Amino acid sequence: MSEEKLMSRKKPSFPVSESLQAYLKRFNRMTEIPVFYDDLLRFAGSVVVYDDNDEDTLWVRCYYADYERDEIEESLKKVYQILHSDGKLDNYYLQFFSIDAIDYCTFGNSKPFRIKIRNTLNDNFTYFYVKKADASRIYGLDFEHILSPHRINFLVYKDTLIEEHISGIPGDVFIKEHLPHCDNRAKNQIAKQFVKFNERCMLRLLGDMRSYNYVVIPTHDFDHVNYTIRAIDFDQQNFEGKLKVYRPQFFKENYPMVKLVADRLQESSIEQYRKEERSQMAKRLITSQKRYRLLIKCMKKDNISTTENIRQLKKELFEYTKDIKFKRTRGMGGVLDTALEFVHRNYKEAEIK
């Protein structure tokens, strides 16, 4: 199936509802910040950012007028400190931060700004992102925090979203430059991790995991390297109607990973890893039940998709699971709640057996 037919041409941005704002405030995700997304759009000029192979990265480096630059950079340093501290500003430490680059992405839905910030005392640097606040993306971020093995830090204030940087090798770069050089043991482990990642995305209905929307993270152990796969784009949480959109295996960019799974793993192993991931998500759901209930309650009230997409996804999930509850559910919040309830119920039944 072609990518154009698999997904909508462009997902609209959805406003952050009052109930979602109240949830974010309760869990310290909403904090006043000194700069907004629209402030960064006032750049006076830009140049294309190329990678080490002189290829266009689809990012441009922004430059600001002299009378605005100092104020914008000072505000961004404060945002970084708010994101990574207890929310209190300490002007003493701000003097040791330097904004090395402000890049703007010309590709994709969110049109983010990527901020490179450096500590001048030790030359360490990191990134964070400034984006337009979108309700479906915010749901995706917090469900990632609750339901995945990973934790994520972000802030929302009015129409602006601040996200921390997730370190790792972009999936498309890893497939092209690193995967061919991995040994057999590493390839077996990567295949396993892709199966688990594929299952995790489908269970929580996180879509559009093309290879450039996730990272591969190598972790060195004492005698080998472990690999994990982690999503970095949460724009497609519960929007599309086709179930295949929520399964990374169906994107052509991931074909090398799919082939790796087919070549390296037996069907019994694939089913074992899928079962492991379902069990882990069910356990996370149990331990985070109160927070999950509050978030899904907000989502059920929200409009984050189209009537056509909701109807189609309910139909395809019913055909996939044979669970009649999908036919009766309402809205994308109800669809996700029913899907996760299905995972939880199967886990409890397996425990009893």
Would you list the DSSP string of 168-235?
SEEHHHIIIIIGGG--HHHHHHHHHHHHHHHHHHHHTTB----GGGEEEEEEE-SSSEEEEEEE---T
pLDDT reading at 7 higher than 80: no
10/327: higher pLDDT: 327
Q: Mind listing the pLDDT tens digit for each residue in 21-68?
A: 999 999 999 999 999 999 999 999 999 999 888 988 889 999 999 989
pLDDT reading at 341 higher than 50: yes
Q: Mind listing the pLDDT tens digit for each residue in 78-135?
A: 999 999 876 566 777 788 899 999 999 987 777 899 999 999 999 999 999 999 999 9
| pTM score | 0.93
Find the largest Cα–Cα distance for the chain.
Answer: 69
**Type of residue numbered 224:** H
- The pLDDT of 276-305, averaged and rounded, is 95
pLDDT at 171: 97
- The pLDDT of 307-317, averaged and rounded, is 96
CA distance linking residue 338 with residue 345, whole number of Å: 10
* Mean pLDDT rounded to a whole number for the chain: 92
Q: Beta partners for 63?
A: 45
Q: Is residue 322 packed enough to be buried (19+ CB in 10 Å), middle (13-18) or exposed (0-12)?
A: exposed
Tokens linked to 286:
């149990």
Q: Mind listing the pLDDT tens digit for each residue in 224-246?
A: 889 999 999 999 999 999 999 99
pLDDT at 348: 72
CA distance linking residue 227 with residue 242, whole number of Å: 29
pLDDT at 92: 74
pLDDT at 89: 66
**How many Å from the N-terminal Cα to the C-terminal Cα in the chain?**
39
